[in-house]
Amino acid sequence: MNESLNSNKQYKSEELYNEARHLIPGGVSRNTVFHKPFPHYVKQASGCYVTDIDGVERIDFANNMASLIHGHAFPPIVEGVTEQIKRGTAFTIATEPELDFARLLCNRASSFEKIRFVNSGTEAVMAMIKASRAFTGKEKIAKAEGAYHGTYDFAEVSQKAKPENWGDINKPNSVPVASGTPKNVLNDVVIFPYNDVERTLSLLNQHKDEIACVLIDPVPHRVGLVKGNDEFIEALYKWTRENDALLVFDEVVTFRVNYSGTQENYTVKPDLTALGKIIGGGFPVGAFTGRSDIMEILDPHQKNLLFPHSGTFSANPVTMTAGRIAMEHFDEQAVQNINALTQKAIDQISEAIGVAGVPMSITGAGSMFRMHLRAEPPTTYREAYQTKEAEALITKMLDYLFYEENLMMINTLACMFSTVMTQKEVDILSDAMLRMFKKFKPEIEQIQ
């Protein structure tokens, strides 16, 4: 049993979990919430506070893996969705909320010329890749080692590459995530090292005529939450222009960074973009959007429909309503405010790192950041990679924060802010971090 749990106490969460384990593998439908000895079950949540069924209230810096930009039960969303639910939740005819939301999103970034909605980020990335193949007539994709893009076979290759199997940095292996991934899938995915222009271009050139798209997350969480350099993104843009390939962005997480997503930071624009998470206002969502001439391949008016595409719950009016309200409230000012507050948190935690004298660093962008067990911030996936020992220490640190400080964070020691947070929560967070750094200092030093 976890040290910080009271072994004499009967937790309601534990009772539920014991039953769940008989019905659901591991007791959970998403490994994200898996936790030993048992995950805690939620009773209710409001704003940035979540209360579990054993009555403990915690501040939520995970926000359902970066998807709740306004925290929990945001009143305008609750109101709008309640009204929509009374009118019906899913139809086999078109709905106005879809059009309203499409209009709003397409006005938000210049590269968003046409859009289609789906039900998850995984589905959005998958559809974007399939659109790229259909448009270019080519089969391979290229992606960064370590980058997470959801669970589509091709998009997940090398997401969990490790020293034993990642191979030479000049020619990284295509490493499967799920056992049984077909060899053809691995052969059709070219893996490159993020932010490494020279190696990446050399790898792409080896498959010049075969690559349909280069898939990029401009601030990939698993690669270390490091920003894509201008030089790197521009080089990919140029390479794709010269080789009849598409540059496609996964902004499922990073859309929160600016009003128009991280693409606002670059002089070049992606051909297609996948969205998800915050654009659902707390409901399952995904979208892919981009150049009209590419998106036309989905238009059933076409005599030769290159990419037939459907989904029973795609663009359902509940998600469309919640998403529209969430994005209306996430205007330019809201983006600026949340980014400024997150920067304050980063500054205060950096100060705590200095006061405690621990060899740790922070990376991030906009309203998100990640802490690393190394003095110098990582710049590559291989530097950000956590050994088993580092992972075990991070689990202990997260448990400390969860049980002793009543804080919830993402399992990489990352925080994703919501607009309802204030300086009060930032102070609570940085004070807790200082105590944690002091407590684990000897173990942090040992990991180096």
Ligand X SMILES: Cc1ncc(COP(=O)(O)O)c(C=O)c1O
Q: How far is residue 439's CA from residue 432's CA, in Å, rounded to a whole number?
A: 11
What is the per-residue binding string for ligand X in 54-73, x denoting contact by CB under 6 A?
-----------x--------
Binding residues among 250-279 for ligand X as defined by CB under 6 A: 250, 252-253, 276
State yes or no: is 277 an active-site residue.
Answer: yes
Residue 218 CB, nearest approach to ligand X (Å): 10
Task: Give me the count of residues in the chain.
Answer: 448
Q: Is 416 one of the binding residues for ligand X (CB under 6 A)?
A: no
Structural contact between residues 238 and 92, judged by C-beta atoms closer than 8 angstroms: no
**Is the Cβ of residue 120 or residue 339 nearer to ligand X in the bound state?**
120
Q: Is 120 one of the binding residues for ligand X (CB under 6 A)?
A: yes
**Is the Cβ of residue 275 or residue 352 nearer to ligand X in the bound state?**
275
Cβ-count burial 57-96 (b if 16+ within 10 Å, e if not): ebbbbbbbbbbbbbbbebeebbebbeebeeeeeeeeeebe
Question: From residue 444, how far is each of 2, 26, 387, 398 by CA, in Å?
Answer: 20, 30, 13, 13
**Is the Cβ of residue 60 or residue 250 nearer to ligand X in the bound state?**
250
Residue 251 CB, nearest approach to ligand X (Å): 8
Q: How far is residue 236's CA from residue 221's CA, in Å, rounded to a whole number?
A: 20
Residue 284 CB, nearest approach to ligand X (Å): 7
What is the per-residue binding string for ligand X in 187-226, x denoting contact by CB under 6 A?
------------------------------x---x-----
Following DSSP, what letter does each residue of 300-311 receive, concatenated?
A: TTSSS-S-----
**Residues β-bridged to residue 47:** 72
State yes or no: is 43 an active-site residue.
Answer: no
Q: How far is residue 249's CA from residue 273's CA, in Å, rounded to a whole number?
A: 5
Q: Is 380 one of the binding residues for ligand X (CB under 6 A)?
A: no
Give the nearest residue (CB) to ligand X.
121
Report residue 62 as tokens: 């995970």
**Is the Cβ of residue 80 or residue 218 nearer to ligand X in the bound state?**
218
Q: Is 325 one of the binding residues for ligand X (CB under 6 A)?
A: no
State yes or no: is 269 an active-site residue.
Answer: no
Residue 256 CB, nearest approach to ligand X (Å): 11
Assign 248 to helix, strand or coil. Answer: strand
- List residues near ligand X by CB under 6 A: 65, 120-122, 125, 148-150, 217, 221, 250, 252-253, 276
Tell me which residues are annotated as active site. 148, 250, 277
